[in-house]
Copies of this chain bind each other. A is one copy, B any other.
């Protein structure tokens, strides 16, 4: 594609390659920025600059944070005895949005994947073990997506904490609310039957 302006081309280049953004969508975004008042561009420039300079990683759970210890870890009303182990900060945010969990988190920053060259040493697993050893943690909830990598990671962590007095649980797997049974994969559907839960009967 020929650009009428090198300056324009450079902005398009800097946007294309971001997740979900190819050349055409980058061009659309850049022309939008060029056509609109500079405030929108300034907001992007300022906020990214601030992020590269000031964004921290929580020393406890490895979430992104504005402080050395994140708001969840430093919140005294969160249960310190239970840790939810997640792959990424997006999973943390998804779980926070459910408002069903009042403990704290531990972000692994990926899953063990030998094919991609990601071994346990690349993930925040050692520090998780240290965290369990050095505090009053009683339960780890493994909120890890069901997959070969996920199962491997759960298995590995389980081995690391075997000798420690901590309970390990997995998030429940089953049919999602609103989904059609016929479209569920066999494994999930099978598990949803073998791990069925009692129906709460309302009696008169």
Within 8 Å CB of A46, what residues of B? Answer: 14
Asked if A65 is an interface residue, CB under 8 A from chain B, the answer is yes
Asked if A66 is an interface residue, CB under 8 A from chain B, the answer is yes
> Chain A: how many interface residues by the 8 Å CB criterion?
58
Instruction: Name the segment of A20-28, A127-135, A193-201 touching the other chain.
Output: A20-28
Does A47 lie within 8 Å of B14, measured CB to CB?
Answer: yes
Does A19 lie within 8 Å of B7, measured CB to CB?
Answer: no
Does A48 lie within 8 Å of B52, measured CB to CB?
Answer: no
Does B52 lie within 8 Å of A41, measured CB to CB?
Answer: yes
C-beta contact mask, A21-40 vs B, less than 8 Å → 1, else 0? 10001011111111000101
Within 8 Å CB of A153, what residues of B? Answer: none
Q: Say how many copies of this protein the assembly contains.
A: 2
Which single residue of chain B is at the shortest CB-CB distance from A73?
B4
Asked if A118 is an interface residue, CB under 8 A from chain B, the answer is no
User: Whole-angstrom distance between the alpha carbons of A33 and B64 in the complex?
Assistant: 12
**Contacts A2-B97, A93-B4; A41 near B51 (Cβ below 8 A):** yes
C-beta contact mask, A73-93 vs B, less than 8 Å → 1, else 0? 000000000000000111011
Asked if A159 is an interface residue, CB under 8 A from chain B, the answer is no
Could you tell me the distance in whole angstroms from the C-beta of A129 to the nearest C-beta in chain B? 23
User: Whole-angstrom distance between the alpha carbons of A14 and B49 in the complex?
Assistant: 12
Within 8 Å CB of A92, what residues of B? Answer: 4
Asked if A177 is an interface residue, CB under 8 A from chain B, the answer is no
Does B89 lie within 8 Å of A1, measured CB to CB?
Answer: no
Q: Report 9 cross-chain contacts, Cβ distance below 8 Å, ordered by A residue.
A: A2-B97, A4-B58, A5-B65, A5-B70, A13-B43, A14-B40, A18-B33, A20-B28, A31-B90
